[in-house]
Amino acid sequence: MNKLPYLTTHLPGIGGQIKTVPDDFHVEEIPLYQPSGEGDHVYLWIEKRGITTFQAINQIARALNISSRKIGYAGLKDAQAVTQQMLSIENVSPEQVTVLSLPKITILSVKRHKNKLKLGHLSGNKFRVKIRQTEQKSLSKVEVISDYLLKHGIPNYFGQQRFGYRNNSHRLGFALMQNNNTEFLAEYLGHPQPHETPQIQHARSAYDANDLDKALKLWSAVPSSEKSALQTLIRTEDESKAVNSINKRLRRLFFSASQSHFFNILLTQRLPTLDKLEFGDVAYIHHNGACFIVDNPDDEQARADIFEISPTGPLFGKKCLAAQGEPGRREMSVLKLANFELKNFAVPSLKLKGGRRPYRIQFSNVHVDWDNCVVISFAVPAGGYATMVLREFMKTN
């Protein structure tokens, strides 16, 4: 993901640094619904500290001796943070869950419900973020930027988390879409990056040099899906089996990252007119998530001005409603420049249908404070990234 332009370029940022320690970044999921108290699934409200959602799920699954696939989640939360979120587990008792004692995870409440929690089953997230290395006089800048964003909206970019710590999840998704197993494994197991540990860099270099045994030896001390894929490749000499040995949930994230990459490109093109409608736009109705084609932008603009509706970008897939007119031409042009077609997004095994995503979102419950540094609290709807809000204030990478 290349550097993304700011909406508030004309307003100076405050600089600073976030996530110095996990306690600087607090996240609380806003559930879409509360568990009813009856059903075959146990909903647990957890607080995790300094680990990913997947790491938390895997810890809980091991402790209960069940498959991680039996654990549902509504959204992925930051690792370098203190986060509260809901998980669901099928066919266990509340008592089995309540007694768990796990590092970096606290189980706050447990209650039964009738269905599995699925990705997207959340209303949004609340954040409280300390921006360190800031000055108290910066508070006035924060207020000015906040007022502008409340009026025009937050650019609804997909954040860095979507593209992985190696910033290459979208490229892995491209390879999956093209059924190019060789390229996928080269990107997944090779191509060392400077921020990785020396051992991992050496392992990736060995893969690039086609020394698979050496690469596996270097990966051996690191439990990872990379090691598992490499083991499968050496054992079977079959690239397809090596790729398919990777957790389907993870492969689905790679595919989603490719959708996100194209969305971000189109959003950067639309940024100067983020809150304006065009003929042929697919508009998003914020209160219910419905979409419609804009035939008369002049008639609909008043609704956009009060944030009732917003223009959208595509998450390419078979159920993505195509824009028309100039917005539609821009969408097809982005695909063509990357040598892709819509049919490339039809990967049956991953079952990603596509859709539309608003180019902007509202943030709410904004509060700014000083605690030896700037402290910002706010809420964003489901799918929004706190980092995309914070970058407008900070103007740092």
Q: How far apart are CA 117 and CA 320, in angstroms?
A: 24
Q: How far is CA 236 from CA 210, 224, 239, 243, 294, in A?
A: 16, 19, 8, 12, 53
> Is residue 369 flagged as an active site residue?
no
Query: Which residue among 78, 275, 281, 369 is the active-site one?
Result: 78
What's at 216, amino acid-wise? L
By residue count, the chain amounts to 397
Q: How far apart are CA 156 and CA 389, in angstroms?
A: 9
- Which element (helix H / strand E) includes 45? strand 41-49
> What angle (nearest 5°) sits at the alpha carbon of residue 291, between those of residues 289 and 293?
165
**Within 10 Å of residue 91's Cβ, how many Cβ atoms?**
10
Dump the DSSP string for 118-182. Answer: -TT-EEEEEEEEEEBS--GGGHHHHHHHHHHHHHH-EE----GGGGTTTT-HHHHHHHHHTT-HH
3 state DSSP class of 49: strand
Contact 225, 250 (CB under 8 A): yes
Residues tagged active-site: 78
